[in-house]
Amino acid sequence: MTTLPASTDKKLGLVIDLDICVGCHACVISCKEWNTSNYGAPLSDMDAYGENPVGTFLNRVHTFEVKSAGCNAQTVHFPKSCLHCEDAPCVTVCPTGASYKRSEDGIVLVNESDCIGCGLCAWACPYGAREMDAAEGVMKKCTLCVDRIYNENIPEIDREPSCVRTCPAKARHFGDFADPDSNVSVMTRERGGMELMPELMTKPVNRYLPPRPKADISGEIDILAPLLTPVPENKGGFMGWLDKALEAI
Amino acid sequence: MHPAPSVILFTSLSGLGFGLLFFLGLDMPAVSGWTAFAFFFVAYALAVGGLLASTFHLGNPQRAVKAFKQWRSSWLSREGVFAVLALLVMGLYAAALIFLDMRLPLVGMIGSALSVITVICTAMIYAQMKTIPRWSQPMTPVLYLLYMFAGGALMAAQIHLATVLLAILTVAQILHWLIGDKAFAKAGSTIGTATGLGILGQVRLLESPHSSTNYLLQEFAFEVGRKHALKLRVIATLCVGLLPVLMLLMTPAGHLVSLVALVLHMIGLFSARWLFFAEAEHVVGLYYDKHRG
Ligand code: SF4
Ligand code: SF4
């Protein structure tokens, strides 16, 4: 059924801390590794060892630069995957019912055996969170590792999405946004967790914590700088002689 | 958006086909016997051919029947359902007309109405996409309907009606372009809202997440040069309406004139439809810093 549930018991999702992400892409790799061998069709690569490799990924890390007048430019690494929107437009456009949002936990999934690969859901998603697999012709997207988080065959510590489990900087957190006291709800409240493109009214569940304000180091920047000024060329005196002598060797 | 030939063919041809069916269902022109057969044959070839073309871009066309299931929420599903209903009802009407020489006006009217609804559903597939501001405007369904009516009238040899409709269509097409040109800015999505980082300052992409292309870029990040687009707009404006209208007004009516007018109209239709996709910008391009104000 591709109409959306009126509400979901839980709202499982991620908090991504843009202040902490170091842009190592470990989550991209661990996501691909877990999801290519578990839920649904593998995440194929085309021309993987050739000149123009293209592949399916459920999570990708962009890197942005932010500049404002009078401040130093900041680099922000920005992991992006499905935000498991409450008003997911990708679900309602699906003609087959392959795309659906679970009423128990809010996870948005694709039932691949129903998917005809029309691509309409990817058109409807503002965030580029869905990619059509070139080998299977079905739509792939983040499952929030639905096959890990409830999986009693793996150690309890591993029952969270692969990206969260692997992040060496602990920039990713998994939890239930419906519970106001959960880790993710508290972080979102305290750090002003942001929705992406709120103007499109998709009500994303995942939140992004903005980078904290950077310390003003504009006064300090010159302490070492004078010592590092380059020695002028064509100098005379001892330094000039030394320079020439060394050059001649 | 990537202007996939299958989708351009599908929307253009099926629009024309349902346009002709619409008029045939209303007994315009009043045909019977072999003439009726010829008209219905053309209409069905266009409508069904277009629908078949649309399955070419599916990843798993063998499962296409599943697409009829979600008519409650999905415009694509509704389109499929109404297209089949329209073709069935019109088939009944055509069969009675051709083989029994019997006109069933009510059946024809229902078939005509179903044809209109089918084209509205097609248009709504595009008009519902908030992610593609150029399409997400009320003029999109209006434009699709006008293409259907004008093209249909031209094929159904309703010369006076076609002349008027083609003129209105030309104006609507230009309006759709002009409104569409401003739509992205008006929708308000920027690289700042897409990343949430706009509150901190000016945002630009420093490094792409991947070194080569991917599905998103192939599907959504199609760029047409401004000059190229302008030339095509001129060609489309001339061919869709202006030249056919002039021809219909200035030359005595006849099959040859109508045929040339139709060919011109179709050249215009294909260029306009190519532009409809090629010029449509998806907000996901913001994450790749593709949007140039
Ligand atoms: S991020 Fe995209 S794919 Fe995920 S639920 Fe929202 S609209 Fe759907
Ligand atoms: S690609 Fe598959 S999941 Fe997406 S809308 Fe089409 S049928 Fe549904």
Instruction: Give per-residue pLDDT as tens, B98-118.
Output: 999 999 999 999 999 999 999
For residue B141, the one-letter residue type is P
* Of B205, B212, B215, Cβ closest to residue A131: B215
Q: Please, are residues A110 and A40 in contact by the beta-carbon 8 Å criterion?
A: yes
Measured CA to CA, the distance from residue B288 to residue A78 in angstroms comes to 12
Kindly write down the DSSP assignment for every residue of B122-148, as one continuous string.
HHHHHHT-TTSTTT-STHHHHHHHHHH
In chain B, the percentage of residues whose pLDDT exceeds 70 is: 100
- Stretch among A103-107, A221-225, B124-128 having the lowest mean pLDDT: A221-225
* Rounded (5°) CA angle B36-B41-B42: 105
Does A232 score more than 70 pLDDT?
no
The answer to whether the CB of A11 is under 6 A from ligand 1 is: no
Measured CA to CA, the distance from residue B281 to residue B292 in angstroms comes to 10
State the pLDDT confidence band at A71, using cuts at 50, 70 and 90.
confident
Does A148 score more than 90 pLDDT?
yes
- What does the DSSP 8-state code read for residue B73? T
Instruction: Give per-residue pLDDT as tens, A84-109.
Output: 999 999 999 999 999 999 999 999 99
- CB count within 10 Å of CB B9 equals 18
State whether B117 and B28 are in the same domain: yes
State whether B176 and B287 are in the same domain: yes
- Given this model, what pLDDT does residue A220 score? 62
Instruction: Give per-residue pLDDT as tens, B205-229.
Output: 999 999 999 999 999 988 887 789 9
The answer to whether the CB of A99 is under 6 A from ligand 1 is: no
State the pLDDT confidence band at A2, using cuts at 50, 70 and 90.
low
Please tell me the total count of domains within chain B.
2
- Stretch among A21-30, A149-158, B40-49, B55-64 having the lowest mean pLDDT: B55-64
- Domain assignment present for B145: no
State whether B42 and B92 are in the same domain: yes
Does the beta-carbon distance from B212 to A53 stay under 8 Å? yes
Between residues A231 and B13, the one the model is more confident about: B13
Q: Please, are residues B172 and B149 in contact by the beta-carbon 8 Å criterion?
A: no
Measured CA to CA, the distance from residue B101 to residue A23 in angstroms comes to 74
The answer to whether the CB of A109 is under 6 A from ligand 1 is: no
Q: What is the least distance, in Å, from the CA of A177 to any CA of chain B?
A: 19
Which of ligand 1's atoms lies nearest the C-alpha of A90?
8
Which of ligand 1's atoms lies nearest the C-alpha of A101?
5
Q: Please, are residues A188 and A177 in contact by the beta-carbon 8 Å criterion?
A: yes
State the pLDDT confidence band at B253, using cuts at 50, 70 and 90.
confident
Q: Which residues are A14's β-sheet partners?
A: A174
Average pLDDT over residues B144-167: 96
- Given this model, what pLDDT does residue A219 score? 66
- Candidate ranges A66-70, A242-246, B38-42; pick with highest mean pLDDT: B38-42
Domain boundaries, chain A: 12-209
Measured CA to CA, the distance from residue B214 to residue B235 in angstroms comes to 33
Q: Please, are residues A140 and A56 in contact by the beta-carbon 8 Å criterion?
A: yes
- Given this model, what pLDDT does residue B175 score? 98
Does the beta-carbon distance from B59 to A198 stay under 8 Å? no
Nearest by Cα to A97 from B123, B282, B63, B125: B63
Kindly write down the DSSP assignment for every residue of B27-54, as one continuous string.
TSS---HHHHHHHHHHHHHHHHHHHHHH
ipTM of the complex: 0.93
Which of ligand 1's atoms lies nearest the C-alpha of A142?
4
* Rounded (5°) CA angle B177-B242-B44: 85
Q: Indicate the SS3 state at residue A174.
A: strand
- Given this model, what pLDDT does residue A249 score? 78
Measured CA to CA, the distance from residue B218 to residue A54 in angstroms comes to 10
Of all protein residues, the one whose alpha carbon is nearest to atom 6 of ligand 1 is A85
Does the beta-carbon distance from B59 to A120 stay under 8 Å? no
- Given this model, what pLDDT does residue B53 score? 86
Does B203 score more than 80 pLDDT?
yes
* Of A2, A75, A198, Cβ closest to residue B206: A75
State whether B15 and B121 are in the same domain: yes
* Of A75, A89, A127, Cβ closest to residue B130: A89
In chain B, the percentage of residues whose pLDDT exceeds 90 is: 84
Contacts 24+ apart (CB under 8 A), A29-37: A29/A166, A30/A162, A30/A163, A30/A165, A30/A166, A31/A57, A31/A58, A31/A59, A31/A81, A31/A142, A31/A161, A31/A162, A31/A163, A32/A57, A32/A58, A32/A59, A33/A162, A34/A145, A34/A148, A34/A162, A35/A140, A35/A143, A35/A145, A35/A162
- Given this model, what pLDDT does residue A231 score? 66
For residue A194, the one-letter residue type is M
State whether B93 and B214 are in the same domain: no
Does A18 score more than 80 pLDDT?
yes
Q: Please, are residues A3 and B73 in contact by the beta-carbon 8 Å criterion?
A: yes
Distances in Å between the alpha carbon of B8 and those of B91, B102, B129, B137, B249?
Answer: 25, 37, 17, 19, 30
Q: How far is the CA of A126 from the centre of ligand 1 (A)?
A: 7
Q: How far is the CA of B54 from the centre of ligand 2 (A)?
A: 14
Does A221 score more than 70 pLDDT?
no
Cβ-proximal residues to B241 (8 Å cutoff; 6+ apart), any chain = B150, B166, B167, B169, B170, B173, B265, B268
State whether B168 and B291 are in the same domain: yes
The CATH classification number of A12-209 equals 3.30.70.20
Does A229 score more than 90 pLDDT?
no
> Range of B62's domain?
1-128
Q: Indicate the SS3 state at residue B25.
A: helix
Q: Which of B128, B143, B174 is the last residue of a domain?
A: B128
Q: What is the mean pLDDT of chain A?
A: 92
Does A1 score more than 60 pLDDT?
no
Of all protein residues, the one whose alpha carbon is nearest to atom 8 of ligand 2 is A94
State the pLDDT confidence band at A237, using cuts at 50, 70 and 90.
confident
Q: What is the least distance, in Å, from the CA of A12 to any CA of chain B?
A: 21
- Domain assignment present for B111: yes
Q: Which residues are A208's β-sheet partners?
A: A16, A194
* Of B63, B69, B212, Cβ closest to residue A54: B212
Does the beta-carbon distance from B197 to A64 stay under 8 Å? yes
Q: Enumerate the H helices of chain B as residue ranges.
A: 5-25, 33-55, 75-99, 105-127, 139-155, 159-187, 191-195, 215-220, 226-237, 243-250, 255-278
Q: How far is the CA of B177 from the centre of ligand 2 (A)?
A: 29
Average pLDDT over residues B59-68: 91
